[in-house]
Amino acid sequence: MNEPTNNIEQARLAALYQVSSQLGASLDLSEVLNQVMDAIILLTGAERGFLMLFDDLTGRLRTEAARNVDRETIEGESMQISRTVLQRAATTGDPILTSNAQEDERFSDQQSVIGYQLRSIMCVPLRARARIIGAVYVDNRLYSGVFKEADLELLGTFANQAAIAIDNARLFTQTDHALARRVEELTVFQQIDQQLNKSLELNQVLSSALTWAIALTTADSGSIGLLVETETGPALRLSVNTSAGGEPPRMAPADHPVLAQVLQEERSVYLEQVSEAESLDGRAAAVQLAVPIKRDGLITGLITLESRTPQAISDEDIAFVERLADRAAVAIKNARLYEDIHAANKAKSDFISVVTHELRLPMTSIKGYTDLIMSGMSGELNEQQKQFLGVIKRNLDRMSVLIRDLSDINRIESGRMQFEVGAFDVRDVVMEVVESFQEQAATKSQTLRVEIGEGDTAVSADSRRVSQVLTNLVSNANKYTPPHGDILIQVQPQAAFVQVAVCDTGIGISEENQAQLFNQFFRAEDAAVREQVGWGLGLSIVKKMVEAQGGEIWFQSTFGEGSTFAFTLPSANITRELE
Residues that bind ligand ADP (CB under 6 A): 476-477, 480, 504, 506-509, 517, 522-524, 529, 534-539, 563
191 vs 558, beta carbon nearer ligand ADP: 558
Rounded to an integer, what distance in angstroms lies between the CA atom of residue 228 and that of residue 301? 9
199 vs 564, beta carbon nearer ligand ADP: 564
424 vs 565, beta carbon nearer ligand ADP: 565
CB of 193 vs ligand ADP, minimal distance in Å: 39
Distances (CA, A) of 424 to 467, 497, 568: 12, 13, 14
CB of 502 vs ligand ADP, minimal distance in Å: 7
162 vs 477, beta carbon nearer ligand ADP: 477
Closest residue (Cβ) to ligand ADP? 534
455 vs 536, beta carbon nearer ligand ADP: 536
CB of 448 vs ligand ADP, minimal distance in Å: 13
Rounded to an integer, what distance in angstroms lies between the CA atom of residue 413 and that of residue 421? 19
**Partners of 556 in beta bridges:** 564
**Angle at Cα 555 formed by Cα 551 and Cα 557, nearest 5°?**
175
Rounded to an integer, what distance in angstroms lies between the CA atom of residue 220 and that of residue 283? 11
Of 383, 481, 381, 384, whose CA–CA distance to 441 is shortest? Answer: 481
287 vs 541, beta carbon nearer ligand ADP: 541
CB of 507 vs ligand ADP, minimal distance in Å: 5
Burial class of residue 469 (count of CB atoms within 10 Å of its CB; 0-12, 13-18, 19+): buried
243 vs 558, beta carbon nearer ligand ADP: 558
CB of 358 vs ligand ADP, minimal distance in Å: 23
CB of 508 vs ligand ADP, minimal distance in Å: 6
CB of 457 vs ligand ADP, minimal distance in Å: 23
Rounded to an integer, what distance in angstroms lies between the CA atom of residue 86 and that of residue 125? 8
Rounded to an integer, what distance in angstroms lies between the CA atom of residue 284 and that of residue 273? 8
Distances (CA, A) of 149 to 2, 152, 153: 17, 5, 6
CB of 481 vs ligand ADP, minimal distance in Å: 7
The DSSP line for 522-542 is: -----HHHHTS---S-HHHHH
Of 146, 90, 95, whose CA–CA distance to 120 is shortest? Answer: 146
168 vs 476, beta carbon nearer ligand ADP: 476
Provide the sign of the torsion angle of the four alpha carbons 130, 134, 135, 136, taken in this order. Answer: negative
